[in-house]
Amino acid sequence: MVRSAAGDAESTPHELADLPEETGHDRALRFVRRVHRLRTLGLGLGFLCVASVLWLHGAPWYVWTLLVANGLAWPHVARRLALRSAHPVRAELRHLAIDSTMGGVWIALMQFNLLPSILLVTMLSVDKIAAHGPRFLFRTTACLLAACVATSAMLGFRVDLATPMPVIVACIPFLVAYPLAIAAVMHRLGRRITDQNRWLAKVSSTDELTGLANRRQGLRAAAQALARHRRHGGSAVLMIADIDRFKEINDRHGHPAGDRVLRQVASVLLENMRATDTAARYAGDEFLLVLPDTSLEGAAEMAKRIRARFSEALAQVPDANCSVSLGAAEVYEDMADVEDWIQQADTALYRAKEAGRDRLVTAPRVEVRTPHEPDESRYAAS
C-alpha cells in the first residue's frame, strides 16, 4: 500500500526543522492532517488493486483481514498516532517505513502480479523521494525488499506475473486518480513557493520599520540610474535627506517616538515621489532618494513639498522640534561611481546642516573634477 508523496512535499521535515518550536509543531500537525487525507485516498485505491489479485488467488480470511486493516483502518490509526506524538514528523517518517514494509508484503502475497506490483513500487518510490529525498528512498526500499523476500519465502516463492483484465480494471482508479491528487497538491505547493519567494524578495529589499526600500535596494537603484545615464544620457538626481535634531527626540521622548517620526518621514516621501523614484532608508535617520529623469530644479521642487508636508504632519505632535535637511547631486558623464555620487550629495547635506538646517543644498553639475575631492565653492543653498 502507498501514501502520498505530495503531502510530504508541502511541508518537508527539512522545512520544519528550521522553524521556531511552536510554529514548527503547528505546521507539523497540519502536515499530518494533509497526509491523512492523501494516505486515505492512496490506501483506499490500493485496496482495490490488491483485493482483485487476492480474489483471483482465493486468499484465506486472515489475509483479507490484514488487507482491510492496512487499507481501511491504518490511515486513521497513523493519523492518531502522529497527532499524539511529541514529534509528528518523525512519527510520519516511521509510518512511511511501515507503508513500504507493507508494500513488500502485498507484492509477495499477490505473487508478483505484474501491473499492481509495479504500480505499488512506483508510487511508494515517488512517495519517499518527495518526503525526504533519495537516501530515505534507499532505506525504505530496503524495508520493502526485506518484507517481500521474507513473505515470499513463507509462501514458497510463488510467482504469477499474468495480469488478467479484471485486475487491470481494478488498477485503473489508482493509476488515474492518485497521480491527479498528487499533481493537485504539487500545484498548490508551487503557488505557495511562488508566494513565499515573492514575500522573501520583498522582505530582503524593504526596511522593516519604515516600509521603504532598504540600503541595499537604494544603492542598487542608484547604480541602475547611473548605468542608464551612461548608456542613454538624460538627467538623474540623488538626494540624501536627514532628520534634524533626531537625537533630541530619542533622548527626550524615547525610541518609540523616534520610530514614529521615521515612519512619518517615510510616509511623506512616498506621498511626494513618483512611481519611478526610489526612496530608501540609508542609515539611521538618513534617507536616500533616487530620482531618474529629474533635474536639480525638479528635485528642488520635490524637496520643497517634502519639507512643507513634513512640517504640517509634525505640527500636531507636541515637542516634535525637528525638520528635514536635504543634499542633492545631479549625475554627470565623468562621475566615477555610485559612491562618488553619494559623496557629493552627502557633502551638500553637510552644508545644509551648517547653513541652519531645514533646507536643500544642491551640488551643481561640473565637467572636470578631482574624484572624491568636491569643490565646496560649487555648492549652493536653496
**pLDDT tens per residue across span 258-309:** 888 888 889 999 999 899 999 999 988 899 999 999 999 999 999 999 988 8
- Position 54 scores a pLDDT of 95
Chain centroid offset of residue 68 CA:
41
Is residue 104 a part of any domain in this protein?
yes
Residues 21 and 152 in one domain: yes
Give the domain range for residue 124: 5-205
What is the rounded CA–CA span in Å between residue 123 and residue 49?
Answer: 13
Residues 172 and 277 in one domain: no
Q: Residues 6 or more apart from 276 whose CB is under 8 A from it?
A: 292, 293
Residues 177 and 294 in one domain: no
Question: Quick one: which of 299, 366, 300 has its CA closest to 335?
Answer: 366
- Position 20 scores a pLDDT of 39
Q: Which residue has the cell 530496503?
A: 142
Residues 68 and 114 in one domain: yes
Is residue 146 a part of any domain in this protein?
yes
DSSP for 13-33 reads HHHHHTS-HHHHHHHHHHHHH
Q: Answer with the one of 164, 181, 205 that is the final residue of a domain.
A: 205
Q: Answer with the one of 154, 172, 205 that is the final residue of a domain.
A: 205
Is residue 210 a part of any domain in this protein?
no
What is the rounded CA–CA span in Å between residue 338 and residue 318?
Answer: 39
Set of cell numbers at residue 221: 537603484
Q: Which of 8, 127, 244, 285 is catalytic?
A: 285
Count of structural domains, the chain: 2
Tell how strand 286-292 and strand 278-283 pair up: antiparallel
Contact 27, 35 (CB under 8 A): no
Q: What is the CA radius of gyration of the chain?
A: 34
Q: Could you give phi then psi for residue 378, rounded to 5 degrees?
A: -95, 5
- Position 11 scores a pLDDT of 43
What is the rounded CA–CA span in Å between residue 185 and residue 362?
Answer: 57
Is residue 182 a part of any domain in this protein?
yes
Is residue 115 a part of any domain in this protein?
yes
Check if 127 is active-site: no
Q: Which residue has the cell 540624501?
A: 240
Is residue 75 a part of any domain in this protein?
yes
- Position 368 scores a pLDDT of 39
| CATH code assigned at 238 | 3.30.70.270
DSSP for 114-180 reads HHHHHHHHHHHHHHHHHHH-HHHHHHHHHHHHHHHHHHHHHTTS-------HHHHHHHHHHHHHHHH
- Position 130 scores a pLDDT of 76
Question: Quick one: which of 77, 63, 75, 84 has its CA closest to 3?
Answer: 75
Contact 353, 234 (CB under 8 A): no
What is the rounded CA–CA span in Å between residue 22 and residue 8?
Answer: 19
Q: What angle do CA 265, 266, 272 make, to 5 degrees?
A: 90
Set of cell numbers at residue 262: 521615521
3-class DSSP state for residue 373?
coil
Residues 186 and 225 in one domain: no
- Position 288 scores a pLDDT of 94
Residues 175 and 224 in one domain: no
Residues 174 and 34 in one domain: yes
Is residue 286 a part of any domain in this protein?
yes
Residues 231 and 142 in one domain: no
Residues 293 and 337 in one domain: yes
| pTM given for the model | 0.59
Residues 263 and 200 in one domain: no
Residues 101 and 18 in one domain: yes
Is residue 307 a part of any domain in this protein?
yes
Residues 15 and 139 in one domain: yes
Question: Quick one: which of 26, 22, 125, 33 has its CA closest to 79?
Answer: 33
Q: Answer with the one of 187, 205, 223 that is the final residue of a domain.
A: 205
Q: Which residues of the chain have pLDDT under 70?
A: 1-24, 315-320, 364-382
- Position 238 scores a pLDDT of 95
Residue 38 CB neighbours (<10 A): 24
